[in-house]
Protein backbone atom coordinates (compact mmCIF):
# COMPACT_ATOMS: atom_id res chain seq x y z
CA UNK A 1 0.00 0.00 0.00
CA UNK A 2 1.24 3.46 -0.83
CA UNK A 3 2.06 5.94 1.92
CA UNK A 4 -0.03 8.66 0.26
CA UNK A 5 -3.52 8.70 -1.20
CA UNK A 6 -5.98 10.80 -3.11
CA UNK A 7 -9.37 10.60 -1.41
CA UNK A 8 -12.87 11.54 -2.48
CA UNK A 9 -16.34 11.10 -0.99
CA UNK A 10 -19.35 9.49 -2.69
CA UNK A 11 -22.75 9.85 -1.01
CA UNK A 12 -25.15 9.05 -3.88
CA UNK A 13 -25.35 7.92 -7.50
CA UNK A 14 -24.64 11.39 -8.87
CA UNK A 15 -21.38 11.72 -7.00
CA UNK A 16 -20.47 8.18 -8.04
CA UNK A 17 -20.53 9.48 -11.62
CA UNK A 18 -18.45 12.46 -10.58
CA UNK A 19 -15.94 10.23 -8.81
CA UNK A 20 -15.64 8.05 -11.90
CA UNK A 21 -14.53 11.02 -14.00
CA UNK A 22 -12.26 12.27 -11.20
CA UNK A 23 -10.53 8.94 -10.64
CA UNK A 24 -10.10 8.38 -14.36
CA UNK A 25 -8.49 11.82 -14.61
CA UNK A 26 -6.13 10.97 -11.74
CA UNK A 27 -5.12 7.69 -13.37
CA UNK A 28 -4.11 9.58 -16.51
CA UNK A 29 -1.68 11.77 -14.52
CA UNK A 30 0.60 8.81 -13.83
CA UNK A 31 0.35 9.05 -10.06
CA UNK A 32 1.43 6.05 -7.97
CA UNK A 33 -0.57 7.16 -4.93
CA UNK A 34 -3.58 5.13 -3.84
CA UNK A 35 -6.97 6.37 -4.99
CA UNK A 36 -9.50 5.99 -2.18
CA UNK A 37 -13.27 6.42 -2.37
CA UNK A 38 -15.09 6.94 0.91
CA UNK A 39 -18.71 5.93 0.38
CA UNK A 40 -21.77 6.25 2.59
CA UNK A 41 -24.96 4.22 2.71
CA UNK A 42 -26.51 6.56 0.16
CA UNK A 43 -24.84 4.85 -2.78
CA UNK A 44 -25.64 1.39 -4.13
CA UNK A 45 -22.91 -1.20 -4.68
CA UNK A 46 -23.61 -1.34 -8.43
CA UNK A 47 -22.95 2.39 -8.70
CA UNK A 48 -19.46 1.84 -7.30
CA UNK A 49 -18.48 -0.85 -9.80
CA UNK A 50 -16.91 1.59 -12.32
CA UNK A 51 -14.63 2.83 -9.52
CA UNK A 52 -13.54 -0.72 -8.69
CA UNK A 53 -12.79 -1.25 -12.38
CA UNK A 54 -10.55 1.83 -12.27
CA UNK A 55 -8.50 0.30 -9.45
CA UNK A 56 -9.82 2.47 -6.64
CA UNK A 57 -9.82 1.37 -3.03
CA UNK A 58 -13.35 1.59 -1.59
CA UNK A 59 -13.76 2.40 2.10
CA UNK A 60 -17.21 2.51 3.78
CA UNK A 61 -17.76 5.74 5.69
CA UNK A 62 -20.66 6.11 8.08
CA UNK A 63 -22.14 9.52 8.71
CA UNK A 64 -20.69 11.17 11.79
CA UNK A 65 -22.32 10.49 15.19
CA UNK A 66 -23.71 14.01 15.52
CA UNK A 67 -26.62 14.91 17.79
CA UNK A 68 -30.22 15.15 16.63
CA UNK A 69 -30.17 18.90 17.26
CA UNK A 70 -27.04 19.29 15.09
CA UNK A 71 -28.60 17.21 12.33
CA UNK A 72 -31.78 19.28 12.36
CA UNK A 73 -29.81 22.54 12.08
CA UNK A 74 -27.92 21.20 9.07
CA UNK A 75 -30.79 19.65 7.11
CA UNK A 76 -30.94 20.95 3.54
CA UNK A 77 -34.08 23.08 3.80
CA UNK A 78 -33.19 24.62 7.15
CA UNK A 79 -29.53 25.19 6.29
CA UNK A 80 -30.31 26.81 2.95
CA UNK A 81 -33.00 28.97 4.57
CA UNK A 82 -30.56 30.25 7.20
CA UNK A 83 -27.61 30.54 4.80
CA UNK A 84 -29.00 30.71 1.26
CA UNK A 85 -26.79 30.31 -1.78
CA UNK A 86 -26.98 33.52 -3.82
CA UNK A 87 -24.28 33.01 -6.45
CA UNK A 88 -25.32 29.69 -8.00
CA UNK A 89 -27.65 26.73 -7.67
CA UNK A 90 -27.02 23.59 -5.65
CA UNK A 91 -28.60 20.54 -7.34
CA UNK A 92 -31.47 18.63 -5.76
CA UNK A 93 -29.21 15.73 -4.82
CA UNK A 94 -27.06 18.00 -2.65
CA UNK A 95 -27.43 16.84 0.97
CA UNK A 96 -25.45 19.22 3.22
CA UNK A 97 -25.29 16.93 6.24
CA UNK A 98 -23.42 14.32 4.18
CA UNK A 99 -20.57 16.77 3.63
CA UNK A 100 -19.26 16.24 7.16
CA UNK A 101 -18.52 12.59 6.34
CA UNK A 102 -15.36 13.73 4.56
CA UNK A 103 -13.84 14.23 8.01
CA UNK A 104 -13.61 10.43 8.09
CA UNK A 105 -10.45 10.72 6.00
CA UNK A 106 -8.58 11.56 9.22
CA UNK A 107 -9.27 7.94 10.19
CA UNK A 108 -7.16 6.69 7.26
CA UNK A 109 -4.10 6.47 9.47
CA UNK A 110 -2.40 3.96 7.19
CA UNK A 111 -1.43 6.98 5.07
CA UNK A 112 1.06 9.70 5.95
CA UNK A 113 -0.58 12.31 3.75
CA UNK A 114 -3.83 12.46 1.82
CA UNK A 115 -5.08 14.93 -0.73
CA UNK A 116 -8.86 15.21 -0.62
CA UNK A 117 -10.61 16.18 -3.85
CA UNK A 118 -14.37 16.66 -4.16
CA UNK A 119 -16.03 14.22 -6.54
CA UNK A 120 -17.18 17.09 -8.77
CA UNK A 121 -13.63 17.88 -9.93
CA UNK A 122 -11.07 16.84 -12.56
CA UNK A 123 -7.29 16.66 -12.24
CA UNK A 124 -5.62 17.72 -15.48
CA UNK A 125 -1.96 17.00 -14.68
CA UNK A 126 0.13 15.34 -11.99
CA UNK A 127 -0.21 17.08 -8.63
CA UNK A 128 1.72 14.61 -6.45
CA UNK A 129 3.79 17.51 -5.12
CA UNK A 130 0.84 18.31 -2.87
CA UNK A 131 1.81 15.35 -0.67
CA UNK A 132 4.79 17.44 0.47
CA UNK A 133 2.57 20.30 1.63
CA UNK A 134 1.71 20.69 5.33
CA UNK A 135 -1.58 20.06 7.03
CA UNK A 136 -3.76 21.99 6.51
CA UNK A 137 -3.33 23.28 2.96
CA UNK A 138 -6.21 24.45 0.78
CA UNK A 139 -6.87 26.94 -2.00
CA UNK A 140 -8.93 30.10 -1.52
CA UNK A 141 -12.58 30.16 -2.53
CA UNK A 142 -12.02 32.43 -5.52
CA UNK A 143 -14.66 32.69 -8.22
CA UNK A 144 -15.97 36.25 -8.23
CA UNK A 145 -13.32 38.75 -7.15
CA UNK A 146 -10.26 39.48 -5.04
CA UNK A 147 -12.31 39.60 -1.84
CA UNK A 148 -12.73 35.82 -2.18
CA UNK A 149 -9.08 35.18 -1.31
CA UNK A 150 -9.68 35.32 2.45
CA UNK A 151 -12.07 32.35 2.34
CA UNK A 152 -11.01 28.74 1.98
CA UNK A 153 -12.55 26.17 -0.35
CA UNK A 154 -12.59 22.60 0.94
CA UNK A 155 -12.85 20.99 -2.50
CA UNK A 156 -9.11 20.28 -2.52
CA UNK A 157 -6.98 20.07 0.61
CA UNK A 158 -3.97 18.34 2.14
CA UNK A 159 -4.34 16.48 5.44
CA UNK A 160 -2.39 14.21 7.76
CA UNK A 161 -4.64 11.39 9.04
CA UNK A 162 -4.68 11.10 12.82
CA UNK A 163 -7.10 9.51 15.27
CA UNK A 164 -6.29 12.27 17.76
CA UNK A 165 -7.17 14.99 15.25
CA UNK A 166 -10.37 13.20 14.29
CA UNK A 167 -11.49 12.99 17.95
CA UNK A 168 -10.77 16.70 18.44
CA UNK A 169 -12.79 17.48 15.35
CA UNK A 170 -15.84 15.58 16.60
CA UNK A 171 -15.67 17.43 19.92
CA UNK A 172 -15.39 20.81 18.22
CA UNK A 173 -17.97 20.08 15.53
CA UNK A 174 -21.03 19.29 17.63
CA UNK A 175 -20.93 22.01 20.26
CA UNK A 176 -24.31 23.27 21.56
CA UNK A 177 -25.93 25.53 18.96
CA UNK A 178 -23.04 25.04 16.53
CA UNK A 179 -24.05 26.11 13.02
CA UNK A 180 -21.60 25.64 10.17
CA UNK A 181 -22.91 27.89 7.42
CA UNK A 182 -21.13 26.09 4.57
CA UNK A 183 -20.88 22.75 6.43
CA UNK A 184 -17.42 21.15 6.25
CA UNK A 185 -15.90 24.20 4.56
CA UNK A 186 -16.80 26.59 7.36
CA UNK A 187 -15.82 24.03 9.99
CA UNK A 188 -12.40 23.30 8.48
CA UNK A 189 -11.54 26.96 8.12
CA UNK A 190 -12.45 27.43 11.79
CA UNK A 191 -10.59 24.31 12.95
CA UNK A 192 -7.49 25.26 10.94
CA UNK A 193 -7.47 29.08 11.21
CA UNK A 194 -3.84 29.27 9.99
CA UNK A 195 -4.49 27.18 6.88
CA UNK A 196 -1.73 27.18 4.30
CA UNK A 197 -2.82 28.67 0.99
CA UNK A 198 -2.51 26.62 -2.19
CA UNK A 199 -2.51 28.37 -5.57
CA UNK A 200 -5.97 28.86 -7.03
CA UNK A 201 -4.79 26.69 -9.93
CA UNK A 202 -4.96 23.69 -7.58
CA UNK A 203 -8.71 24.24 -7.20
CA UNK A 204 -9.94 26.35 -10.08
CA UNK A 205 -13.65 26.92 -9.53
CA UNK A 206 -15.70 26.78 -12.70
CA UNK A 207 -17.31 30.21 -12.21
CA UNK A 208 -13.87 31.78 -12.75
CA UNK A 209 -14.39 30.80 -16.40
CA UNK A 210 -16.99 33.55 -16.87
CA UNK A 211 -16.52 35.81 -13.83
CA UNK A 212 -12.73 36.23 -13.96
CA UNK A 213 -11.65 34.91 -17.37
CA UNK A 214 -8.27 36.63 -17.26
CA UNK A 215 -7.37 34.37 -14.30
CA UNK A 216 -8.03 31.21 -16.30
CA UNK A 217 -4.79 30.01 -17.92
CA UNK A 218 -4.91 26.41 -19.17
CA UNK A 219 -1.13 26.16 -18.91
CA UNK A 220 -1.36 26.45 -15.13
CA UNK A 221 -4.79 25.00 -14.26
CA UNK A 222 -4.24 21.72 -12.40
CA UNK A 223 -7.70 20.99 -10.99
CA UNK A 224 -11.08 22.10 -12.35
CA UNK A 225 -13.78 22.12 -9.68
CA UNK A 226 -17.42 22.18 -10.82
CA UNK A 227 -18.88 24.04 -7.87
CA UNK A 228 -22.64 24.76 -7.80
CA UNK A 229 -24.18 23.27 -10.99
CA UNK A 230 -22.74 19.87 -12.00
CA UNK A 231 -21.61 18.96 -15.53
CA UNK A 232 -23.75 15.81 -15.62
CA UNK A 233 -26.99 17.68 -14.80
CA UNK A 234 -29.69 18.08 -17.39
CA UNK A 235 -31.38 21.49 -17.65
CA UNK A 236 -28.10 23.04 -16.49
CA UNK A 237 -28.88 26.77 -15.94
CA UNK A 238 -25.35 27.88 -16.86
CA UNK A 239 -24.62 25.26 -19.51
CA UNK A 240 -24.24 27.78 -22.32
CA UNK A 241 -21.60 29.72 -20.39
CA UNK A 242 -19.73 26.61 -19.25
CA UNK A 243 -20.14 24.30 -22.26
CA UNK A 244 -16.40 23.80 -22.96
CA UNK A 245 -15.85 22.72 -19.34
CA UNK A 246 -18.91 20.47 -19.43
CA UNK A 247 -17.65 18.81 -22.63
CA UNK A 248 -14.26 18.27 -20.98
CA UNK A 249 -15.87 16.50 -18.00
CA UNK A 250 -17.90 14.21 -20.28
CA UNK A 251 -14.76 13.18 -22.17
CA UNK A 252 -13.18 12.01 -18.90
CA UNK A 253 -16.37 10.36 -17.69
CA UNK A 254 -16.90 8.38 -20.91
CA UNK A 255 -13.24 7.44 -21.27
CA UNK A 256 -13.01 9.27 -24.59
CA UNK A 257 -10.01 11.05 -26.05
CA UNK A 258 -9.34 14.10 -23.91
CA UNK A 259 -9.45 17.31 -25.96
CA UNK A 260 -6.50 19.68 -25.81
CA UNK A 261 -7.45 22.22 -23.21
CA UNK A 262 -5.71 24.97 -25.16
CA UNK A 263 -8.36 24.43 -27.83
CA UNK A 264 -11.16 25.20 -25.34
CA UNK A 265 -11.70 28.86 -26.00
CA UNK A 266 -13.21 31.25 -23.49
CA UNK A 267 -15.29 33.93 -25.22
CA UNK A 268 -14.66 36.24 -22.25
CA UNK A 269 -10.95 36.51 -23.08
CA UNK A 270 -9.99 38.73 -25.97
Residue 117 has pLDDT above 70, yes or no: yes
In this structure, are residues 165 and 106 in contact, taking their beta carbons and an 8 Å threshold?
yes
* Cα 226 from Cα 18, distance rounded (Å): 10
| CATH assignment of the domain containing 41 | 3.90.550.10
Would you say residue 237 lies in a domain?
no
Would you say residue 123 lies in a domain?
yes
Domain count, the chain: 1
User: What pLDDT does residue 182 have?
Assistant: 85
Would you say residue 36 lies in a domain?
yes
Residue 82 has pLDDT above 80, yes or no: no
pLDDT band per the 50, 70, 90 thresholds, residue 13: very high
Domain range for 19: 4-202
* Cα 96 from Cα 93, distance rounded (Å): 10
* Cα 182 from Cα 204, distance rounded (Å): 18
Average predicted confidence (pLDDT) for the chain: 92
Would you say residue 103 lies in a domain?
yes
pLDDT band per the 50, 70, 90 thresholds, residue 89: low
Would you say residue 92 lies in a domain?
yes
Kindly state the average pLDDT of the residues 68-96: 66
Which class for 216: exposed (0-12), middle (13-18), buried (19 or more C-beta within 10 A)? buried
User: What pLDDT does residue 87 have?
Assistant: 57
For the beta sheet containing 113-117, the strands, ordered from the edge strand earlier in sequence to the opposite edge, are 57-60, 34-39, 4-10, 113-117, 152-159, 137-140, 196-197
Tens digit of each residue's pLDDT (9 = 90 or more) over 100-112: 999 999 999 999 9
Would you say residue 130 lies in a domain?
yes
Would you say residue 158 lies in a domain?
yes
* Cα 198 from Cα 156, distance rounded (Å): 9
Tens digit of each residue's pLDDT (9 = 90 or more) over 164-181: 999 999 999 999 888 898
Would you say residue 127 lies in a domain?
yes
Amino acid sequence: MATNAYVTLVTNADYAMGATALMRSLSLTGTHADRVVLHTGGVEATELEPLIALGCRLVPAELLPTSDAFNQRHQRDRLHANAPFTKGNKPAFHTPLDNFAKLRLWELTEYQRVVFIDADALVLRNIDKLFHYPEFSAAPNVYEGLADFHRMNSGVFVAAPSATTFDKMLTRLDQPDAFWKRTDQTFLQTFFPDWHGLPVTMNMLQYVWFNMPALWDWASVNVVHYQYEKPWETNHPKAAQLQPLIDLWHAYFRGEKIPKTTALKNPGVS
